[in-house]
Chains A and B, each alone.
Chain A
Amino acid sequence: MIENAYINIFLYVLAIFPVARSRSLKEARQTAFSVALLSLAISVACLLFEKSGNWWAPFPLMVSIIALTATGLSSLSNTTRRSYAAMLLLSAVSISYLVLPSGWLLGVPWCTAMLLVWFEVRRRSLKKARVFAFYMGGSTLLAFLGLAFSGRPEGLLCLALALGIKEACFPFHSWFPSLVESTPMGVVVTFVTPQVGVFLHLKYLAQHLPQSMHLEVATIGIVTALFGAALASVQTSLKRVLAYLFVSQSGLVAFGLENSSPIGHTGALTAWLVAGLGMAGFAMSIEALTARRGSDPDLREAGRDFESTPALATAFMLCGLALVGLPGTLGFVSEDLLVQGSVQEFPALGLFLIVVTAINAITIMKCLFSVFAGPRCEVGEDLTRRERLALSLVIGTLLLLGMMPELLLRWFA
């Protein structure tokens, strides 16, 4: 399994140079997309031949699908060659957490990712870069403090806070909507949707956290989820809806991870994968839509007829609804496990979980019906072949694992 991670990192890092130095943007996109496709093939092959492994075995697969969607659907109008290279490097960084030993060395991928994204934001908006730097600088500082005091309760608290900021948990989420608004979606997706915070939480924090703190963290998770869901429901810009939906999802995952029951815990890991893949698909279909409409769609205005971009609308809907437990997708399994597992331990919070998914589902359908309903448009602007391939893989994975969840649960159980 470790070899898989090494091969993937090697592949992504190697591809950065041809992508950054390619002659045209189209060539950069093509190279990045091909590399992500190759990495996906390797990850699938490794998973098929792997007999035993631990819970993070599907992680490289998730990262490669995210990279594929990000590179395949980024629009050329706001993405540069450097952005494509950043997407690949960010994917390599995400996987590198798997192979690095714990300790100060973890600071290297952590800071690399922050700097890469910061440069991307800074090139577009100095002010938004300031917000990003404010939060991420704080998060990095806390992470280093946590490492310095490792083994002590203060250290644990610092680490927990650092991860909370990184995963956009309430009340440290304000950096996220402005990041989504100002940065190429591909970079945002490769930076946040792998949710390395979850990985780091489980690997370094979960065992050391005292029993009494589980309820607090779970409560923060549910408050984040509820807050994100509520704010997403009143936004008027599609990108801000996306940002708050992500905040809500990451709250749900954080809540589930605090379950001591194996059912709830597995549910949280499944929700982690669903949030990664679903969010990547959902965000990149919004990016594709923005490229076609010329600007971030305003939900108060009429959109365009469903039939003018049927496949894009379907991808938007399926990826979005997978996040909120559409039957037949992996989201249903994760929601079922999460609810059934958590209700024993946190009965009241479990009820909120049901409410949160309901609100999020309504928000997604509301967006679908306002963006894909409107005057007829005869010009065909549906998904291109590359985009269709990337989204097919995301939706196919969500559906396949939704039909046969045992394929996945054997890793997580």
Chain B
Amino acid sequence: MASLIILIPLAACAFLSFIWWFKLTLSESWVARISTSAFFLSSLTSFVLLGLQSGTGLLVPLGEWYSLSGYAFHWEGAFDLLSLTLTGLAAFALGLVCHFSKDYLHQERGFLRFYLLTLLLGVGVELVLLAASMDQIFFGWELVGLSSALLIAFFSHRPGPASGGVRAFTTYRLCDIGLLTAVVLIHHSGGEAVFSLQQNPWFQVVPRADQGLNFVLVLLLMLACAGKSALVPFGGWLPRAMEGPTPSSAIFYGALSVHLGPYLMLRCSPLIESTRWGAAVVVAVGLLTALHGAMVGRVQADVKSALAYGSMTQVGLIFVEIGLGWYWLAVLHMIGHASIRTLEILRAPSVLHDYHHIETSLGTVLPRMGLHYERLLPRSWQIWLYRLALERGYSEAVLLNGLKLWRKAVGLLDGVERFVENRIMGLSVPGREKVEALR
């Protein structure tokens, strides 16, 4: 029964993929119904298991995938308070979003594709949440990244979404180097990548004896989190990710995808605890992200970008809590933030209408709130900070310059390549072939 939490959305995803690939017809209402009920069933299973669960948690072996001379990939589920609560809530939120999208995306050309990718996201998220080892987390982590990038580029007839998708995927994949290296390092150092129960009431990574190694692992995992949870300095993709359909933005960047980073850190908190510097890094990155998000979010001109930066701020704070060791607070913060942010993003397209409604009911204009910076800081600082916020803290400019440098260097190499090729072809000057063709 335990594996049903993942198998139900997976079966729905496989079924819809089959329909889609072989161009069979299925009405919109059925597509939505199948997806919604798959998620609700999965959520129900989680909550039933949570109710039945006694004690702290169980590691349930779900079978061996492949094994080879001493190395094996096992499927195991970590069923504890943390994972079951979060899978239940995640599946419930996904079900709600699927139900909401039925009307929102009615008659849209990629209706089925949207549901397919949302189901894929669901499978990926549940895999990460229920994973009992770092290897399994990596499996789900990649699926979430792919479905996220594809959903950002959902409206592929406009240039914005496509470039946003490329940007998100590039960030994800580069930062995932950290996760994969960490997994390999854990195996390489002779340790078990499988979680175990320690002082916290949920399953966690066993820290290594070597403090230096633990610190390196924290750094690598933070790199992975910085990609997925849009931490400083890799958060530039998050506002651009809002180019996707609103329901998917809500569920990805309000609720599930951005919180996978904190979740990974909760599973790996013994590593943070074992080194003081590791904790310092987590707190510092979290704090910087929160400040960055709060500052840049204030100057955004559109509601979805402002909400994206709001998400970033809260996720930064969650990281600070994790770094300080306040795990339960972090869990509650995650759940609370996910719920309210999803609602806000879903409501974002009609925010003006809502404002009008409230103001007409009140009979007065709503007062402006949250003007701390304006009250507390001197005028000269405000102008300077405003500029910094408009430039998104210059973090993007630095990263983009690095990318340009890479392009230039490799472009040079490419030039040498073409020169060699042309020399063998008997063309001494590159481009002469074109001239000859013109003649």
Mark A residues whose CB is within 8 Å of B: 127-128, 130-131, 134, 174, 177-178, 227, 230-231, 233-235, 261-263, 266, 302, 305-307, 310-311, 314, 321, 325-328, 332-333, 336-337, 339-341, 343-344, 347, 350-351, 354-355, 358, 361-362, 365-366, 369-370, 372-376, 388, 392, 405-406, 409, 413
Contacts and interface: CB of A to CB of B under 8 A. Distances in A.
Interface string B182-195: 00100110000000
A352 to B, nearest CB: 11
Given A234-B411, A321-B146, A366-B166, A405 B66 contact: yes
The listed residue with most B CB atoms (<10 A of its CB), out of A340, A369, A406, is A369
Interface in B5-24: 20-23
Given A234-B411, A355-B177, 6 more contacts: A130-B425, A234-B410, A266-B68, A306-B156, A311-B21, A369-B156
B188 A344 contact: yes
A104 to B, nearest CB: 29
A409 B140 CA distance: 23
B68 A327 contact: no
Interface string B146-166: 100100010011010111011
A327 B138 CA distance: 9
Contact of A174 (B165, B176, B421): B421
Nearest to A405: B66
18 contacts: A174-B424, A231-B414, A234-B411, A235-B414, A261-B69, A306-B153, A306-B156, A307-B109, A307-B156, A310-B20, A321-B146, A325-B142, A336-B73, A340-B187, A351-B181, A358-B174, A373-B156, A374-B157
Contacts of B410: 230-231, 233-234
Nearest to A133: B424
Contact of B71 (A340, A361, A370): A340
Contacts of A358: 173-174, 176-177
B66 A409 contact: yes
Nearest to A382: B23
A234 B407 contact: yes
Contacts of B113: 306, 310
Given A178-B421, A358-B173, A373 B159 contact: yes
Interface in B403-434: 406-407, 410-411, 413-414, 417, 420-421, 424-427, 433
A406 B146 CA distance: 26
A326 B146 contact: yes
Given A234-B407, A406-B66, A365 B169 contact: yes
Nearest to B150: A317
CB-based closest 10 A-B pairs = A373-B162, A306-B156, A127-B425, A373-B156, A369-B162, A405-B66, A305-B157, A262-B69, A376-B157, A307-B109
A310 B23 CA distance: 10
Given A127-B425, A174-B421, A405-B66, A373 B173 contact: no
The listed residue with most A CB atoms (<10 A of its CB), out of B21, B22, B413, is B21
Interface of B: 20-23, 65-66, 68-71, 73, 109-110, 113, 135, 139-140, 142-143, 146, 149, 153, 156-157, 159, 161-163, 165-166, 169-170, 173-174, 176-177, 180-181, 184, 187-188, 406-407, 410-411, 413-414, 417, 420-421, 424-427, 433
A362 B174 contact: yes
Nearest to A336: B73
A392 B21 contact: yes
A333 B71 CA distance: 12
Given A174-B420, A362-B170, A370 B162 contact: yes
B119 to A, nearest CB: 13
Nearest to B163: A369
A306 B433 contact: no
Contact of B142 (A177, A227, A307, A327): A327
A131 B424 contact: yes
Nearest to B162: A373
Nearest to A391: B21
A131 B68 contact: no
Contact of A365 (B20, B166, B180): B166
A333 B135 CA distance: 11
Contact of B427 (A127, A261, A302, A413): A127
Contact of A405 (B65, B142, B170): B65
Given A131-B421, A234-B410, A409-B68, A339 B180 contact: yes
Nearest to A332: B139
Contacts of A302: 159
B156 A305 contact: yes
Contacts of A134: 424
Contacts of B433: 127
A153 B162 CA distance: 53
A362 B420 contact: no
Contacts of B135: 336
A177 B421 contact: yes
B156 A130 contact: no
